[in-house]
Structure 1
């Protein structure tokens, strides 16, 4: 059975519009997800009825990613994630939010426990530098590296010290009793033995798909953003091209004085006794007709 050509065109057109909407969603969300430093993406909440059943299963995991326990009280834990910081004193049955100074709300990325003068100190790595908690659940104060994205910390090799990574690139160490003395360790081309000389095809395709397979993280981020903008522009202009073409084909503004009516295009030839500017749509009559005999 032969499909009607008009139906095939309509079917193709609607498939194109659906694909354009999906490209727009991919482009916009891709730009957002490419920037871990945008704190509001991690802390802005959506309505529960927006979530699918599969997303509801993982909802509790987005609250507590990192947990540290009080060595003096096994019932007291501190939990944190990109969404904030909480404490429980009954082994997780109930949780209370812990507040940062001046109503700040950084993303919590790691914990480290160290001993300072027989006192257990909790160091908190965030997207806004390092913070410390002298007492378990006590007041939080700023430690060092304001405004830095600290993605990892761990107790250091010496007492009172920690080691961490600044923005996935620079390793640093510091003594918490002298936080102004920060030592940065730069590794241009480290030599690490025992690692494989190749990567799996899956890993290569994974990094290539997310834009990190060929260039550095900074340049890859810019390339990904450009690709997201290009997809969005492609989708929007494709929709406009379809809509405006449809609109121009079906309607025209009447050129009669004082008339606001919208009339369909005429397909027949204009009468010989009427000026061409009175018959053609306004967009085709932008230029006045040439005088006869010119």
Structure 2
């Protein structure tokens, strides 16, 4: 049992830490939950003026406008989670692609099929199923899986099919002529995982909801922590207000006692104790992430044993872990995916997986992009380390030109075109030095997405570049609250 003196100290610490931090912890809780769900369309397709957001965030905006491109010799269709657009004048103007039967634009997560003289046969994977472009590229019609969230796509093993991933989890084959869907029986066994994980990767993924439990469970735990931060902030402030000003509010003694009892019970044992773990790990990991660039530099080369890490790193399941897919042409059964474990390959149509043996450091390629155009397979990676392979050669060639990770590629007549966050590039050969095509695309849609706006608030950079030090303070206060709260409860229990 906690003695009276110790209880008083912890009560005082908890009271003043809560009063100082409550409002901002409420903001962090709300924005944190929103940032856990990039898939929510309204966060990407509603925007605020760029004048509202910081220079740091505004530098990221162009990359959100257009991630995927497909081109004929005279036109380009490009899109992202913000929508899909068509240009017939080398990007001087862009018009929205119409999706037949709906008024909105789905989020675009990938394309399959090569445009030749027209866009006929080009497939679009969206958060509202699979669509096909008409020959002009001006409209798209639904083909299959309406209402389903298709997070990546690849041309199939033969010309009759495409392969898609539903919700980062399920693998499906779709007949292009009929829209018939056939599930691919996917296994979870992953061989060849590296024995170590970069320490800064582990810290980042813990905070971002990918580093504790397998599948979506880590996101749910983060969401729970964020919601509880909101409830604890509101109930804590309400408890203080009723105790201090209840009489002046016109509340009777009995009403004040009842309110205080209810607020204490909901604030402490019901929510506070249950949320202690997620709030603690979110606060602890927030401090190094407030100084992300210095943290990465300082911990470069630090590794932790995979065997000692949380279930998310053990390779027990690929549910909600598949971020990109390629089906290799004329090689039935061969699939490649990008996941938290890097680039993985299957030779038995998804039943077993191993790290891609021909790639340099395949397990270190988590976060890369993988996509295929005709018989070329691209792996987009940052730092100018993107690679391309002609299917059947088993030899990866470095792709020269773009310095940041590629997000898509296409043919434009006899030329190759690739896209990254900065520009659209062209070359005469799939691996030759690419040059900026000077095709403007950033004006296809204006403003900063709500997702980035909330990220700006969450980090505090929207107010000042050095707000990170205040965020450190609030994270420290959250840790104090997590520690002092249970000590108070041990003495007072249910009041």
TM-score when normalising by structure 2: 0.45
Partner Cα separation in structure 2 for residue 115 and residue 84 of structure 1: 19
The alignment status of 1:237 with 2:235, answered yes or no, reads yes
- 2:253 maps to 283
- Residues 114, 155 of structure 1: 8 Å contact kept: no
- 1:111 maps to 111
CA-based RMSD: 3.0
Alignment of 1:124-163 (within 5 A): 124-163=124-163
- 1:199 maps to 197
Partner Cα separation in structure 2 for residue 127 and residue 82 of structure 1: 9
Decide whether aligned partners of structure 1 residues 189 and 142 sit closer, same or farther in structure 2, where only a CA change above 3 A counts. Answer: same
Q: Unmatched 5+ residue regions in structure 2?
A: 1-13, 257-495
Partner Cα separation in structure 1 for residue 255 and residue 125 of structure 2: 67
- 1:29 maps to 31
Alignment of 1:219-238 (within 5 A): 219-238=217-236
Partner Cα separation in structure 2 for residue 18 and residue 89 of structure 1: 56
- 2:208 maps to 210
Partner Cα separation in structure 1 for residue 206 and residue 44 of structure 2: 25
Partner Cα separation in structure 2 for residue 199 and residue 284 of structure 1: 57
Partner Cα separation in structure 2 for residue 91 and residue 183 of structure 1: 38
Shift in Å, 1:191: 4.1
Shift in Å, 1:162: 1.2
Shift in Å, 1:221: 2.8
- Residues 70, 114 of structure 2: 8 Å contact kept: no
- Residues 25, 233 of structure 2: 8 Å contact kept: yes
Structure 1 window deviating more from structure 2 (170-179 vs 213-222): it is: 213-222
Alignment of 1:1-294 (within 5 A): 16-70=18-72, 72-73=73-74, 76-101=75-100, 102-114=102-114, 120-180=120-180, 182-193=181-192, 195-248=193-246, 251=248, 282-283=252-253
Decide whether aligned partners of structure 1 residues 97 and 285 sit closer, same or farther in structure 2, where only a CA change above 3 A counts. Answer: closer
Decide whether aligned partners of structure 1 residues 82 and 252 sit closer, same or farther in structure 2, where only a CA change above 3 A counts. Answer: closer
Per-residue displacement from partner, 1:118-151 (whole Å, max 9, x unpaired)?
Answer: 9742110111111111314143100111111111
Partner Cα separation in structure 1 for residue 161 and residue 249 of structure 2: 76
Per-residue displacement from partner, 1:23-49 (whole Å, max 9, x unpaired)?
Answer: 111111122222344221211222343
State the number of aligned residues: 243
Is the radius of gyration larger for structure 1 or structure 2?
1
Partner Cα separation in structure 2 for residue 89 and residue 201 of structure 1: 47
Greater relative contact order, per chain length (Cα 8 Å cut-off, separation 6+): 2
Partner Cα separation in structure 2 for residue 179 and residue 285 of structure 1: 63
- SS state of the match for residue 47, structure 2? coil
Shift in Å, 1:236: 1.1
Partner Cα separation in structure 1 for residue 44 and residue 129 of structure 2: 17
Partner Cα separation in structure 1 for residue 38 and residue 53 of structure 2: 22
Per-residue displacement from partner, 1:132-176 (whole Å, max 9, x unpaired)?
Answer: 113141431001111111111111120132122111111122220
- SS state of the match for residue 86, structure 1? strand
Structure 1 window deviating more from structure 2 (125-134 vs 59-68): it is: 59-68
Per-residue displacement from partner, 1:177-225 (whole Å, max 9, x unpaired)?
Answer: 1212x222232233444x4233222222222222322323332232222
Decide whether aligned partners of structure 1 residues 113 and 21 sit closer, same or farther in structure 2, where only a CA change above 3 A counts. Answer: same
Q: Unmatched 5+ residue regions in structure 1?
A: 1-11, 254-280, 287-294
Structure 1 window deviating more from structure 2 (167-176 vs 39-48): it is: 39-48
